[in-house]
Chain A
Protein backbone atom coordinates (compact mmCIF):
# COMPACT_ATOMS: atom_id res chain seq x y z
CA UNK A 1 0.00 0.00 0.00
CA UNK A 2 1.19 3.49 -0.87
CA UNK A 3 2.73 5.69 1.79
CA UNK A 4 1.01 8.94 2.78
CA UNK A 5 2.38 12.19 4.17
CA UNK A 6 0.35 14.46 6.42
CA UNK A 7 1.21 17.55 8.48
CA UNK A 8 1.56 16.57 12.14
CA UNK A 9 -0.84 19.20 13.45
CA UNK A 10 -3.31 21.88 12.42
CA UNK A 11 -5.57 24.39 14.15
CA UNK A 12 -9.00 25.51 13.03
CA UNK A 13 -11.47 28.01 14.42
CA UNK A 14 -14.84 26.66 15.44
CA UNK A 15 -17.42 27.13 12.68
CA UNK A 16 -14.82 27.49 9.96
CA UNK A 17 -13.90 24.90 7.36
CA UNK A 18 -11.03 22.56 8.23
CA UNK A 19 -8.94 21.50 5.25
CA UNK A 20 -6.64 18.57 5.94
CA UNK A 21 -4.09 17.76 3.22
CA UNK A 22 -2.55 14.41 2.37
CA UNK A 23 0.18 13.57 -0.13
CA UNK A 24 0.26 10.13 -1.72
CA UNK A 25 2.54 10.58 -4.71
CA UNK A 26 3.17 6.84 -5.19
CA UNK A 27 -0.49 5.87 -5.31
CA UNK A 28 -1.39 3.16 -7.84
CA UNK A 29 -4.35 3.21 -10.17
CA UNK A 30 -6.36 0.70 -8.15
CA UNK A 31 -5.70 2.24 -4.73
CA UNK A 32 -8.36 4.13 -2.83
CA UNK A 33 -7.88 7.05 -0.45
CA UNK A 34 -9.50 6.48 2.95
CA UNK A 35 -9.87 8.87 5.86
CA UNK A 36 -10.39 7.81 9.45
CA UNK A 37 -10.27 9.88 12.60
CA UNK A 38 -9.58 9.02 16.20
CA UNK A 39 -11.02 11.07 19.00
CA UNK A 40 -9.13 10.84 22.27
CA UNK A 41 -9.61 7.49 24.07
CA UNK A 42 -11.80 6.08 21.29
CA UNK A 43 -11.20 3.71 18.40
CA UNK A 44 -10.71 5.08 14.88
CA UNK A 45 -13.87 6.09 13.04
CA UNK A 46 -14.38 5.87 9.29
CA UNK A 47 -15.06 9.22 7.59
CA UNK A 48 -14.98 8.87 3.83
CA UNK A 49 -13.15 7.25 0.93
CA UNK A 50 -12.69 7.77 -2.80
CA UNK A 51 -10.86 6.54 -5.88
CA UNK A 52 -10.61 9.49 -8.26
CA UNK A 53 -13.85 11.45 -8.11
CA UNK A 54 -14.60 13.92 -5.36
CA UNK A 55 -16.86 12.50 -2.68
CA UNK A 56 -19.19 14.02 -0.11
CA UNK A 57 -21.15 12.53 2.76
CA UNK A 58 -22.78 13.80 5.92
CA UNK A 59 -19.45 14.11 7.69
CA UNK A 60 -17.05 15.54 5.15
CA UNK A 61 -15.94 16.09 1.57
CA UNK A 62 -12.95 14.49 -0.10
CA UNK A 63 -11.18 16.31 -2.92
CA UNK A 64 -8.70 14.22 -4.94
CA UNK A 65 -6.40 15.95 -7.44
CA UNK A 66 -6.60 14.92 -11.07
CA UNK A 67 -3.22 13.17 -10.93
CA UNK A 68 -4.35 11.50 -7.65
CA UNK A 69 -1.05 12.35 -5.99
CA UNK A 70 -2.74 14.31 -3.21
CA UNK A 71 -6.10 14.83 -1.57
CA UNK A 72 -7.83 17.11 0.91
CA UNK A 73 -10.38 16.23 3.54
CA UNK A 74 -12.78 19.09 4.19
CA UNK A 75 -14.87 19.44 7.33
CA UNK A 76 -17.18 22.28 6.24
CA UNK A 77 -18.11 23.67 9.66
CA UNK A 78 -15.72 22.38 12.28
CA UNK A 79 -16.97 21.98 15.84
CA UNK A 80 -15.08 21.34 19.06
CA UNK A 81 -16.10 17.69 18.78
CA UNK A 82 -14.09 17.41 15.56
CA UNK A 83 -10.86 17.73 17.55
CA UNK A 84 -9.11 14.44 16.78
CA UNK A 85 -6.24 12.76 14.96
CA UNK A 86 -7.08 12.37 11.28
CA UNK A 87 -5.50 9.54 9.30
CA UNK A 88 -5.17 9.42 5.52
CA UNK A 89 -4.73 5.85 4.29
CA UNK A 90 -4.18 4.58 0.76
CA UNK A 91 -4.95 0.99 0.00
CA UNK A 92 -6.23 -1.41 -2.61
CA UNK A 93 -10.00 -1.42 -2.44
CA UNK A 94 -10.54 -5.13 -2.39
CA UNK A 95 -7.28 -6.59 -1.19
CA UNK A 96 -7.55 -9.98 0.45
CA UNK A 97 -6.37 -8.88 3.84
CA UNK A 98 -8.04 -5.49 4.08
CA UNK A 99 -5.65 -4.37 6.77
CA UNK A 100 -5.23 -0.64 7.26
CA UNK A 101 -1.76 0.88 7.45
CA UNK A 102 -1.95 3.99 9.60
CA UNK A 103 0.69 6.71 9.57
CA UNK A 104 1.13 9.40 12.22
CA UNK A 105 -1.91 11.35 11.11
CA UNK A 106 -2.75 15.02 11.60
CA UNK A 107 -3.84 16.24 15.00
CA UNK A 108 -6.61 18.76 14.37
CA UNK A 109 -7.34 21.14 17.21
CA UNK A 110 -10.59 23.05 16.82
CA UNK A 111 -10.53 26.19 18.92
CA UNK A 112 -13.47 28.27 20.15
Chain B
Protein backbone atom coordinates (compact mmCIF):
# COMPACT_ATOMS: atom_id res chain seq x y z
CA UNK B 1 0.00 0.00 0.00
CA UNK B 2 0.94 3.65 -0.26
CA UNK B 3 3.27 5.07 2.32
CA UNK B 4 3.54 8.58 3.67
CA UNK B 5 3.93 11.12 0.92
CA UNK B 6 5.12 14.69 1.13
CA UNK B 7 5.06 17.56 -1.31
CA UNK B 8 6.90 19.33 -2.63
CA UNK B 9 10.08 17.30 -2.30
CA UNK B 10 12.18 20.42 -2.74
CA UNK B 11 11.32 24.03 -2.05
CA UNK B 12 13.45 27.11 -2.52
CA UNK B 13 12.18 30.29 -0.91
CA UNK B 14 13.51 33.80 -0.63
CA UNK B 15 13.92 35.08 2.87
CA UNK B 16 10.65 36.57 4.05
CA UNK B 17 8.40 34.41 1.89
CA UNK B 18 5.73 32.13 3.32
CA UNK B 19 5.83 28.41 2.52
CA UNK B 20 3.39 25.53 2.94
CA UNK B 21 4.51 21.92 3.14
CA UNK B 22 2.04 19.09 2.69
CA UNK B 23 1.90 15.64 4.25
CA UNK B 24 -0.36 12.78 3.20
CA UNK B 25 -0.22 10.13 5.93
CA UNK B 26 -0.95 6.46 5.52
CA UNK B 27 -4.72 6.04 5.20
CA UNK B 28 -6.38 5.43 8.53
CA UNK B 29 -3.38 6.47 10.64
CA UNK B 30 -4.58 8.45 13.62
CA UNK B 31 -1.32 10.05 14.71
CA UNK B 32 0.76 12.44 12.64
CA UNK B 33 4.10 13.98 13.51
CA UNK B 34 6.29 16.70 12.00
CA UNK B 35 10.06 16.73 12.48
CA UNK B 36 12.78 19.13 11.37
CA UNK B 37 16.19 17.81 10.34
CA UNK B 38 19.09 20.19 9.95
CA UNK B 39 22.05 19.13 7.83
CA UNK B 40 24.13 16.49 9.60
CA UNK B 41 21.77 16.25 12.56
CA UNK B 42 19.09 13.82 13.69
CA UNK B 43 15.44 14.75 13.23
CA UNK B 44 13.91 16.99 15.90
CA UNK B 45 10.27 16.86 16.92
CA UNK B 46 8.08 19.80 15.98
CA UNK B 47 4.45 18.89 16.58
CA UNK B 48 1.98 16.04 16.95
CA UNK B 49 -1.64 15.48 15.92
CA UNK B 50 -4.11 12.87 17.02
CA UNK B 51 -6.79 12.99 14.37
CA UNK B 52 -7.49 16.72 13.91
CA UNK B 53 -6.38 17.72 17.39
CA UNK B 54 -2.92 19.20 17.80
CA UNK B 55 -1.92 17.69 21.14
CA UNK B 56 1.71 18.74 21.29
CA UNK B 57 3.36 21.69 19.60
CA UNK B 58 6.20 22.08 22.03
CA UNK B 59 8.85 21.65 19.34
CA UNK B 60 7.75 24.47 17.06
CA UNK B 61 10.69 26.89 17.13
CA UNK B 62 8.74 30.12 16.83
CA UNK B 63 5.29 31.55 16.20
CA UNK B 64 6.20 31.70 12.52
CA UNK B 65 5.60 27.95 12.40
CA UNK B 66 2.03 26.74 12.19
CA UNK B 67 0.62 23.27 11.50
CA UNK B 68 -2.89 22.09 10.86
CA UNK B 69 -4.78 18.88 10.12
CA UNK B 70 -8.36 20.06 9.76
CA UNK B 71 -9.99 16.78 8.71
CA UNK B 72 -7.72 14.42 10.55
CA UNK B 73 -5.94 13.25 7.43
CA UNK B 74 -3.74 15.55 5.33
CA UNK B 75 -1.58 17.97 7.28
CA UNK B 76 0.09 21.21 6.29
CA UNK B 77 3.10 22.81 7.95
CA UNK B 78 3.25 26.51 7.24
CA UNK B 79 6.26 28.71 7.84
CA UNK B 80 5.72 32.45 7.65
CA UNK B 81 8.40 35.01 6.84
CA UNK B 82 11.03 32.34 6.28
CA UNK B 83 14.55 32.87 7.59
CA UNK B 84 17.80 31.24 6.51
CA UNK B 85 17.89 29.19 9.71
CA UNK B 86 14.64 27.53 8.62
CA UNK B 87 16.58 25.71 5.88
CA UNK B 88 16.23 22.01 6.69
CA UNK B 89 14.47 18.82 5.72
CA UNK B 90 10.95 18.66 7.10
CA UNK B 91 9.80 15.11 7.79
CA UNK B 92 6.29 13.88 8.35
CA UNK B 93 5.47 10.58 10.04
CA UNK B 94 2.24 8.77 10.79
CA UNK B 95 1.30 6.04 13.21
CA UNK B 96 -1.67 3.74 13.56
CA UNK B 97 -3.79 3.68 16.68
CA UNK B 98 -3.43 0.99 19.27
CA UNK B 99 -0.37 -0.33 21.02
CA UNK B 100 2.09 -0.02 18.18
CA UNK B 101 4.61 2.77 18.39
CA UNK B 102 6.06 2.33 14.92
CA UNK B 103 6.17 5.59 13.02
CA UNK B 104 6.26 5.56 9.24
CA UNK B 105 8.14 8.45 7.71
CA UNK B 106 7.74 10.23 4.43
CA UNK B 107 10.71 11.19 2.23
CA UNK B 108 10.74 14.74 3.55
CA UNK B 109 10.66 18.19 1.99
CA UNK B 110 14.03 19.92 1.65
CA UNK B 111 13.52 23.63 2.23
CA UNK B 112 16.26 26.05 1.23
CA UNK B 113 15.84 29.69 2.20
CA UNK B 114 18.04 32.09 0.26
Contacts and interface: CB of A to CB of B under 8 A. Distances in A.
B112 to A, nearest CB: 14
A15 to B, nearest CB: 28
Given A43-B108, A44-B91, A99-B33, A34 B101 contact: yes
A83 to B, nearest CB: 16
Contacts of A104: 41-42
Interface residues of B, number: 25
B102 interface: yes
A94 B35 CA distance: 19
Nearest to A99: B45
A98 B33 contact: yes
Contacts of A98: 31, 33, 48, 95, 101, 103
Contacts of A43: 4, 91, 93, 105-108
A43 B56 CA distance: 21
Contacts of B42: 85, 87, 102-105
Contacts of A26: none
Interface of B: 4, 31, 33, 35, 41-45, 48, 55-56, 59, 91, 93, 95, 99, 101-108
Given A43-B4, A49-B101, A102-B43, 10 more contacts: A42-B107, A42-B108, A43-B91, A44-B103, A46-B104, A98-B31, A98-B95, A98-B103, A100-B93, A100-B103
Interface of A: 32, 34, 41-46, 49, 85, 87, 91, 93-94, 96-105
